């Protein structure tokens, strides 16, 4: 049987740009699968942190990724059978993930796991290199961003809702540092490629952004 083309929408962008929320809602609207690629990096980070592995120890980090026992069931994320959905969202986990994400051997290790999410009727994937490396033939590639203050405010709101205290000025600094590291690394850096459409969400609400992404997808000619 001929292989059927599976449509993919990629949403890449800096931290706290709203990629996760938008990707999930767009996938629900289209009935597509959803890949939160950052969660995979965060899961490796969490597994390494639980084993007291230093982020600088590339060999051990890659070894952990090779044997990673993870599952995504509905909206819950499991590591070694344990529900770690909240734990992986912690700032410390994101920081550690950003540090180890520079290892090309780790990125190669996670490549197949990410591509396995591509199944009919389609996939919405968010991350940093979804359009540039993981799904270069994606149907629609979007670079989602918002200005730094707005992203820090969104992250602040998310943390406060979870009962975690945070300070906006410190969050701006942390986002700035993390985005710098994610964009300047040699291996699959965060970048806006030529075939990627820019979507600046500053001042837009969630429904407006979802509407724009769905509109872009309809315009891409892939909707029958």
Please tell me whether 48 is known to bind a ligand.
no
Which token pair is 98?
Answer: 């950003």
Please tell me whether 145 is known to bind a ligand.
no
Give, as one character, the DSSP assignment of residue 89: G
Q: How far apart are CA 100 and CA 69, in angstroms?
A: 18
Q: List the beta bridge partners of residue 78.
A: 71, 83
Exactly one of 7, 18, 94, 122 binds ligand DC (CB under 6 A); that residue is 94
141 binds ligand DC (CB under 6 A): no
Exactly one of 7, 18, 38, 131 binds ligand DC (CB under 6 A); that residue is 38
- How many residues lie near ligand DC (CB under 6 A)? 14
Q: How far apart are CA 206 and CA 211, in angstroms?
A: 9
Binding window for ligand DC (CB under 6 A); candidates: 55-63, 69-77, 92-100, 158-166:
92-100
Rounding to the nearest 10 degrees, give the CA dihedral for residues 158, 161, 167, 172: 10
Between 15 and 223, CB nearer to ligand DC:
15
Which phi and psi (to 5°) does residue 124 adopt? -115, 125
Annotated binding site for ATP: 13-21
Chain residues binding ligand DC by CB under 6 A are 15, 37-38, 41-42, 94, 97-98, 101, 127-129, 178, 182
């Amino acid at each position: 049987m001929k292989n059927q083309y599976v449509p993919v929408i990629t949403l890449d962008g800096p931290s706290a740009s709203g990629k996760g929320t938008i990707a999930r809602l767009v996938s629900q609207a289209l009935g597509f699968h959803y890949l939160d690629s950052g969660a995979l990096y965060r899961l490796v980070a969490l597994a390494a942190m639980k084993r007291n592995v230093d982020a600088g120890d590339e060999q051990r980090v890659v070894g952990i990724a090779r044997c990673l026992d993870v599952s995504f069931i509905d909206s819950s994320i499991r590591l070694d059978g344990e529900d770690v959905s909240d734990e992986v969202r912690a700032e410390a986990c994101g920081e550690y993930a950003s540090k180890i994400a520079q290892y090309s051997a780790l990125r190669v290790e996670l490549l197949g796991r990410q591509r396995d999410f591509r199944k009919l009727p389609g996939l919405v994937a968010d991350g940093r290199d979804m359009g540039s490396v993981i799904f270069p033939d994606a149907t629609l590639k979007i670079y989602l961003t918002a200005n730094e203050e707005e992203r820090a405010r969104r992250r602040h709101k998310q943390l406060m809702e979870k009962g975690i205290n945070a300070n906006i000025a410190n969050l701006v600094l942390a986002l700035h540092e993390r985005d710098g590291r994610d964009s300047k690394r040699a291996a699959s850096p965060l970048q806006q490629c030529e075939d990627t459409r820019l979507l600046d969400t500053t001042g837009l609400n969630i429904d407006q952004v979802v509407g724009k992404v769905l509109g872009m997808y309809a315009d891409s000619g892939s909707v029958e």
